[in-house]
Structure 1
């Protein structure tokens, strides 16, 4: 018998305590309206294209050295992959509301505005965040027309019968990705990096997480959304977490519904791709989720039914724990937590040893807090 809901108290809508981070900048340079795309380098574009098709992305451009992938929603490509000698994440591109925002940001940062290639259209400015990651802000990029969407199933809810004399037989096929939702990044300079994004791009924090027993030291993770005023935006477009290395964690792509997510996952499993964690429902953001690894080791997520917030909500605050990552679903796996034995966990261990000798925010007490989270 369970005497207490383990999720009780994991979220507070009351915002920060006195003196804590407010979760927004008072006078940001600009306010971006969305993620535009993510850029990667990979050595095998054919292999990348095969996984993308199985995952549910559509190729919108293919050359000898470049691959553009899109969802069914109208807009630009959501993933751009260039051929390189080794796999790497180059950085995110955010969409500015209008070209003059790109110019304003460039002037504030002492950078220049550059025209994008003809196949993308528009202009951009490149900045570097405190973690050393290239951050591109674009405006005027050419929108691709919508593709035929994957229609959600008609569901019977309780005694509300919307479907009669008809069966449910969703095919086991690739999920049709609708759009890019968010990217998660790890930084050894979490607080500096967080403030940089809020001040330069006008983002808002939806939720903060802190290590148990260390709230007085401040948060160690934030889920950050775009400020679209009264127009609701995804609970998070960017998530930042403190860690021993500056790196990509995962990116997430929206699909139509739970059946699409589940059947698409079964298709990926049939193709022999590596499942990381899921299916479940998150707490912060509420998304239905399912995580996979692509052949180059990058983690990607199918999600559906996420929260939408306007700019009036204050940040939630909650202690970080492995069990607090989901309302329901299987326990978080060692692969998802980054502690599965292998090359990645070895790289993280070596990064930890290096980070503890450097002047950054990841110190011994933070390491102990992270280890406590992994065991929770």
Structure 2
């Protein structure tokens, strides 16, 4: 058995766990998924969705009257599927299992049937529902799309290490080319129950826990969760869960090749009239260089590059959740990113706060005070 490392000082978080805290992994998960496969959305205007998607850096795989499939340059499946619907909403994620046997094992353990995916996608699927009622698909045997020509990272002269001579740097202002889907962040009113569900059923493991300042004894309120692929490094987080007053999508993130792709791609988006939410900066948990944008329907999406990659030996880190602690460098976190700019969505979230503290869930009055403290920190 691999030795688990607790190397948080100076690495990726402030502290490790103290005795009795959540271990960040299940002792006997049903299966261990390999990665996120794709995310599914519904939107009433597919034409508008595709215009933004192309400016953001996706390539269209499929376009019909009722469905839009978007991919990155890496080999694999489409990473976003958008179907026409009466309103804009996030439907749910699909996770990739290693093989059909894992899908069948998960189906048997949960009493759910398996079915074949459409011919264009191929493979087997079992559809579950997480504790928030959101559909969660687990798939295997899907058809891989061939790799596309990728945007190449730049070469840099650092100090006296010269690798670029008689050659200029002129990154064009054009869409960053999405390489792949990185992660999705979800808010849950029953955060702890949801966390344990994903660890127990899908074999995911926690990279970092965050807790409200002064409330560590009540347990974490956010977790950054990665796949367990043994000695093979994987993204710092494939899924992140955060406690909040409603069950909702927060954002999804897509990898691009380097900082120039993030920055020049952002300039292209800005010049074409799209709304930056927050960026450019570098996160603490995960270390990604980030840039957040709003699509025309208000959904938050992220370009990122240079994220942390962990194998399964690293133990979870623990740190207080603060607004100022979201980045190592970059502009101050915006009200838009925090969801406190007056919009229809933020007003809906405020109403949810009043409802949630009266309901039977984890978001009580003490947690509400903790969240408000975070937004002011």
Normalising TM by the smaller chain, what interval? over 0.9
CA distance in 2, matches of 1:260, 1:205: 29
How much does 1:157 deviate? Answer: 1.0
Aligned partner of 2:13 in structure 1 is 11
SS in 1 for 2:241: strand
SS in 1 for 2:144: coil
How much does 1:230 deviate? Answer: 0.2
Written as runs of structure 1 = structure 2, the 5 A alignment for 1:150-169 is 150-169=151-170
Q: Once superposed, which parts of structure 1, at least 4 consecutive aligned residues long, lie more than 6 Å away?
A: 7-10
Aligned partner of 1:325 in structure 2 is 326
CA distance in 1, matches of 2:47, 2:209: 39
Q: Could you tell me which runs of 5 or more consecutive residues in structure 2 were left unpaired when the two chains were aligned.
A: 1-8
CA distance in 2, matches of 1:75, 1:216: 42
1:270-312 CA-to-partner distances (Å, cap 9, x unmatched) read: 1101110000000000000000000111100000000000000
Tell whether 2:221 aligns with 1:220.
yes
Aligned partner of 1:76 in structure 2 is 77
How much does 1:9 deviate? Answer: 11
1:54-82 CA-to-partner distances (Å, cap 9, x unmatched) read: 00000001111000000000000000000
CA RMSD of aligned residues (A): 1.2
Q: Which of 198-207 and 151-160 deviates more?
A: 151-160
Tell whether 2:152 aligns with 1:145.
no
How much does 1:344 deviate? Answer: 1.2
Aligned partner of 2:337 in structure 1 is 336
Written as runs of structure 1 = structure 2, the 5 A alignment for 1:20-31 is 20-31=21-32
Number of residue equivalences? 369
How much does 1:8 deviate? Answer: 8.6
CA distance in 2, matches of 1:194, 1:320: 17
Written as runs of structure 1 = structure 2, the 5 A alignment for 1:204-353 is 204-353=205-354
Query: TM-score of the superposition, structure 2-length normalised?
Result: 0.97
SS in 2 for 1:30: coil
CA contact (8 A) 1:43 1:86 kept: yes
Distance 1:99 1:157, change over 3 A: same
Query: TM-score of the superposition, structure 1-length normalised?
Result: 0.97
SS in 2 for 1:284: coil
How much does 1:345 deviate? Answer: 0.8
Q: Could you tell me which runs of 5 or more consecutive residues in structure 1 were left unpaired when the two chains were aligned.
A: 1-6
CA contact (8 A) 1:10 1:324 kept: no
